[in-house]
Amino acid sequence: MKYSLADRSSLVKKLAAEIGFDECGIAKAMPLDEDAKRLENWLKKGFQGEMSYMNNHFDLRVDPTKLVPGAKSVITLLFNYFPTAFQEKDAPKIAKYAYGKDYHLIIRDKLKYFLAEISKALGEIEGRGFVDSAPVLERSWAKKAGLGWIGKNSNLIHPKKGSFFFIADLILDLKIEADGPIKDYCGTCTKCIDACPTNAILIDKTIEANKCISYFTIELKSNQFPQGLEKQSENWVFGCDICQDVCPWNRFSTQTSHKELEPFEEVIHFNIKNWMELNEDEFNIIFKDSPLKRSKFEGIKRNLRLFQS
């Protein structure tokens, strides 16, 4: 059966929904020239801090054909992680995306299955799936695919569902009818900028990552935090959600239906005493499949000391 470009789009979106993705949009694969200039400028200013990997594979980040030869389409998928339960008051704060199982483990398998199902329906194709594990500018592709706009806090904002989503991409050498971008509805709102305690958010939708609490608590490897951070960290020990929590568009966020993201009981109920009494073996067992393992036991303990200062 021969499918039109529109038919291919409908089929792809139907499959995405059946597999469990919350939103699906499609963009034409092309070099991201404007994003390349912004990324180059961002790197030159040193906003990446110790994240030296951001300097690598620049050409791969901005040209999908470098990742998939002959790439014609980029399918972007959203996976809602807004939690079904929240941490208890006064607990060391953990970013909501890390409440449950590591999303890489969940979404990677779904992408493989998704690619296989598209191939089964439309014939042999070449493609690769990406979920924050390769040099792909996910938010840029999501914007091009009409799944939202980039907010001042640099997050993708969906007009009906907010910003608490994981973003994944499938780059294919298959031509599919593309969706168009939508309007930016941030307007004159500066709530995220005003709320950031470390002034990491600039008015031009640029994040000085080397000032961000998420950077300090996850990416920074040094045992020494910048002076005064203990007064600004607001008790975050892994990541930070402040700029999302204050965003008016997140009043539309709904609890995830993905059982795989059910919050760990320890994340919800541990207080500072529970965390401080935790030993490394216990940490590795409890959080074996958690994003928290990115900071490792030593990193979490370091952040907890900041929490207590």
Does the pLDDT at position 51 exceed 70? no
The tens digit of pLDDT for each residue in 92-138 reads 999 999 999 999 999 999 999 999 999 999 999 999 999 986 668 89
With pLDDT > 90 as the criterion, what percentage of the chain qualifies? 74
Q: Average pLDDT, stretch 40-61? A: 67
Instruction: Give the pLDDT of residue 219.
Output: 87
Instruction: Give the pLDDT of residue 309.
Output: 62
- Rounded CA gap, 111 and 129, in Å? 6
Question: What is residue 144's three-state secondary structure?
Answer: helix
Query: What band does 41 get if pLDDT is binned at 50, 70 and 90?
Result: confident
Is 1:46 a contact under the CB 8 Å cutoff? no
- Rounded CA gap, 198 and 261, in Å? 29
Instruction: Give the pLDDT of residue 265.
Output: 96
What is the token pair recorded at 267?
């994340």
The tens digit of pLDDT for each residue in 56-88 reads 666 777 899 999 999 999 999 999 999 999 999
Does the pLDDT at position 148 exceed 80? yes
Instruction: Fill in the amino acid letter for 14.
Output: K
Q: Average pLDDT, stretch 152-167? A: 97
- For residue 225, the tally of other CB atoms under 10 A from its CB is 18
Instruction: Give the pLDDT of residue 56.
Output: 62
What is the token pair recorded at 234?
């607001």
Long-range contacts of the stretch 119-127 (C-beta < 8 A, 24+): 121/11, 121/15, 122/3, 122/8, 122/11, 122/174, 125/172, 125/173, 125/174, 126/68, 126/69, 126/70, 126/172, 126/173, 127/68, 127/170, 127/171, 127/172, 127/173, 127/174
- Residue, of 206 and 171, whose pLDDT is higher: 171
Does the pLDDT at position 91 exceed 90? yes
Does the pLDDT at position 223 exceed 80? no
Is 73:247 a contact under the CB 8 Å cutoff? no
Does the pLDDT at position 55 exceed 70? no
Instruction: Give the pLDDT of residue 54.
Output: 59
Please, what is the average pLDDT of the chain? 91
> CA angle 289-169-110, nearest 5°?
50
Query: What band does 52 get if pLDDT is binned at 50, 70 and 90?
Result: low
Is 297:280 a contact under the CB 8 Å cutoff? yes
Backbone angles phi and psi of 196, in degrees to 5: -65, 115
Which residues does the annotation mark as catalytic? 132
Q: Average pLDDT, stretch 182-201? A: 96
Does the pLDDT at position 289 exceed 90? yes
Q: Single out the residue of 300, 153, 96 nearest to residue 218, CA to CA.
A: 300
